[in-house]
Amino acid sequence: MPDADPARFLSDLNALRTIGGVSGDHRGVIRRAFDADDVRARLWLADRFADAGLNPVIDPAGNVWGLRGPLLLGSHTDTQPEGGWLDGALGVIAALEVARTNSDVSVVSFQDEEGRFGATTGSEIWSGALTLSAADKLTDLGGLTFGDARRALPATGDFLDPARFTAYLEHHIEQGPVLDTAGQVAGVVSAIVGLRQTDVTLTGQQNHAGTTPMHLRIDALRGLSDADHAIRTALRNVATPQSVWTIGHVSVHPNAPSAIPGRVRFTVQWRDAETARLDRMEIAVRDALDRVARDTGLTLTISDTACLPPVDMNDGIRSALRTAARTHAPGKWRDMPSGALHDATNVSRLMPVGMLFAPSIGGVSHDFAEDTAEADLVTGLRILADAARALT
């Protein structure tokens, strides 16, 4: 079995970042699911699969497959609104290079991992956790539905039967500072943390900003500030140093300089590796929001909680990755959890999964400045190739 070719791998990776590249060196990339550049990239990828001797298939959700062997490798090629060039793309192009040298490997680029419409939408549909008809009703922030958007990339085949694959292995950048800070070049993922998220609306009284006395205001934005403090206080005795939580997307109405905000909508998301702690964090978050509403006179609306459970990586795949890491990065790798969500979470419903991390310089991701040293990219490729060889 021939070795993977680092030069060809880097050439493909650099070619992909020119599609949707937004800076002089194309380090920053914008490829939102089903936009023009995402479609161009997926068609380009299908051609690269065919050139490598794989059978390219685009399924109805926009996932792009390069089919041959039973071991599935891949990730995603869509990006954040201001995305880096390696998030997801590294795993797909590394998988392509491994498939060139290992006939037992197939490759996938899942659609909408970055959540323009949902969250890891393409792999969620393929895993059976979300029906295509339900996905078609999802909308982006501009109101475009997934169903309308996917018309830009016509399917060339149906959904693949998961039974044709024996396992899934995903290579990805860490998207955090641990490896870079420690001077390490690879991380063998032990588990992907669980995630909970809810949408919250606080409704007060929209009114004139100049004529309404402060003591008579029912200011929804002030409620958001109170909610942030209340949630942090409530989680102080529940969370561990590894737990994280975020108040994310915020929408203020009417969002005008001379109007008291009458409504604010925001997301609350929390992550942890233990299901029981996620449960306790949810109780704390909801109790904190209830107290804020009572104390401020605001009306509180909370959605059902979206849940993704923690996922342990398969022991056999981890063992293969560890062995390869000892060979190619002796003393410069570690076992570590993933704090970020990945397609492997959904695929774990269907088959054993494993993940390998490469370092992110400065811990930066979801930003145009995202980068990884070429030498570290090549080391990750070699670890991935050796692990795939051991698993086939």
Task: Please state the rounded mean pLDDT for residues 312-332.
Answer: 98
CATH class name, domain 6-192+310-391? alpha beta
76 is in an annotated binding site: yes
Strand partners, 76: 110
Rounded to the nearest 5 percent, the helix, strand and coil shares of the chain are: 40, 25, 40
More confident residue, 297 or 307: 297
Looking at residue 118, what is its pLDDT? 87
Average pLDDT of the chain, as a whole number: 96
26 is in an annotated binding site: no
Q: Tens of pLDDT along 92-151?
A: 999 999 999 999 999 999 999 999 998 899 999 999 999 999 999 999 989 999 999 999
Place of tokens 């060196």: 25
304 is in an annotated binding site: no
Q: Which two tokens stand for residue 81?
A: 């609104």
Alpha helices in the chain (DSSP H): 6-17, 36-51, 89-101, 121-127, 132-135, 146-149, 178-182, 220-235, 275-296, 315-328, 343-347, 374-391
pTM: 0.86
Looking at residue 110, what is its pLDDT? 98
Looking at residue 254, what is its pLDDT? 98
Left (φ > 0), alpha (ψ -120 to 50) or beta: where does 297 sit? left
Percent above pLDDT 70 for the chain: 99
Q: Residue 247: what residue type?
A: I
78 is in an annotated binding site: no
Looking at residue 2, what is its pLDDT? 85
pLDDT exceeds 70 at position 212: yes
Looking at residue 141, what is its pLDDT? 83
The structural domains of the chain, with segments of one domain joined by +, span 6-192+310-391, 194-308
Looking at residue 1, what is its pLDDT? 77
Looking at residue 26, what is its pLDDT? 64
Looking at residue 328, what is its pLDDT? 98
Listed residue (161, 113, 166, 121) closest to 145, CA to CA:
121
More confident residue, 219 or 118: 219
- Distance (Å, rounded) from C-alpha 122 to C-alpha 65? 12
Task: Please state the rounded mean pLDDT for residues 310-324.
Answer: 97
Looking at residue 99, what is its pLDDT? 98
Listed residue (293, 218, 212) closest to 261, CA to CA:
218
Domain 194-308 carries which CATH code?
A: 3.30.70.360
Task: Please state the rounded mean pLDDT for residues 57-73.
Answer: 98
Q: Tens of pLDDT along 6-64?
A: 999 999 999 999 999 997 766 799 999 999 999 999 999 999 999 999 999 999 999 99
Cα 365 vs. chain centroid, distance in angstroms?
Answer: 11
114 is in an annotated binding site: yes
Q: Tens of pLDDT along 172-208?
A: 999 999 999 999 999 999 999 999 999 999 999 999 9
Looking at residue 229, what is its pLDDT? 98
Is the separation of the CB atoms in 187 and 179 below 8 Å? yes
Q: Does a cis peptide bond (omega within 30 degrees of 0) precede residue 254?
A: yes
